[in-house]
Amino acid sequence: MSDTDIREEVRAHYASAALTAAEGASCCGPTCCGPAESASAISAEVFGGSLYGDEEREALPDAAVLASLGCGNPTAVAELREGETVLDLGSGGGIDVLLSARRVGPSGTVYGLDMTEEMLALARSNAADAGARNVHFLKGHIEQIPLPAASVDVIISNCVVNLSPDKAAVLREAARVLAPGGRLGISDVVAEDGVSPEERAERGSWSGCLAGALARGEYLDLLRAAGFTDAEITFTHQVAEGLHGAIIRATAPAATSAGAAAVPANAAGCC
């Protein structure tokens, strides 16, 4: 498929998932993440809201939990601190944005970036229900982040980088918007080295988080090429044969590129 075809497949898939969650049903099942042949119960064990703790789920609107499609809990590994500025790449229904907002407190700020109108509408509704005042949802692509250079302390993401047709651009943009010494702490699906792109595609679709997954070595190479240091990838659980949910950590370069752009007008508030 072309990059345009991939992006449209992903957009349509997650637009449908957002509408499902808005209606009060879980959107993580055999038609959502993971292998197409997986039973709903199996998919729920390795993707979605079950990967969060009971206390975290209970503190959030039901629709935010129902819309969770990720393969991990990046807020649990990002070591967020009071007052930090956080960016969630592919923020979906807003679960990680809302959890991050609680961790950084009223003096911190959390941005959620998503390309899907339906997910953005759901996330803004969830933020309003949660009373979150330090969150801002932006429409855009993770390959072209609509924020200034060196404006973010921490980047998180939950099973989204694998969906991009241009992962090198995603990681370059992440390095650009992170402040010097900023942290990348994301969850993603990662293949074992030696599992070919063709084998990844056999295990599941691109929008199902498998066909577009990088191998561990490929991921590390792209992180280093983008300028990240101290990059590490830790497998957490298997989601299909040779593919795993994983935690990816790295540190931003000591210096970032100049030429910061203005924060877009729609970054002014959660709605």
List of residues 6+ apart from 117 with CB closer than 8 A: 15, 139
Please give the helix or strand (H or E) that residue 103 lies within, else none: helix 95-104
Q: Which CATH superfamily is domain 3-267 in?
A: Vaccinia Virus protein VP39 (3.40.50.150)
Q: What is the pTM of this model?
A: 0.82
Q: Which residue is listed with tokens 């994301």? A: 186
CA distance 99 to 80: 10
Q: What pLDDT does 104 receive?
A: 96
- Cα dihedral sign, 71-102-26-161: negative
Render the burial of 68-90: b for 16+ CB within 10 Å, e for the rest.
Answer: bbbbbbbbbbbebeeebbbbbbb
Q: Do the bridges between strand 109-114 and strand 229-240 make them parallel or antiparallel, or are there none, so unpaired?
A: unpaired
All structural domains of the chain with their residue ranges: 3-267
Tell how strand 135-139 and strand 109-114 pair up: parallel
Per-residue pLDDT 10s for the chain (271 aa) are 788 999 898 888 888 887 877 665 455 544 445 444 443 333 445 555 455 555 655 565 555 555 455 666 777 778 899 999 999 999 988 889 999 999 999 999 999 999 999 999 999 999 999 899 999 999 999 999 999 999 999 999 999 999 999 999 999 999 999 999 999 999 999 999 999 999 999 999 888 889 999 999 999 999 999 999 999 999 999 999 999 999 999 999 776 444 444 444 444 444 4
Both tokens of residue 148? 């200034």
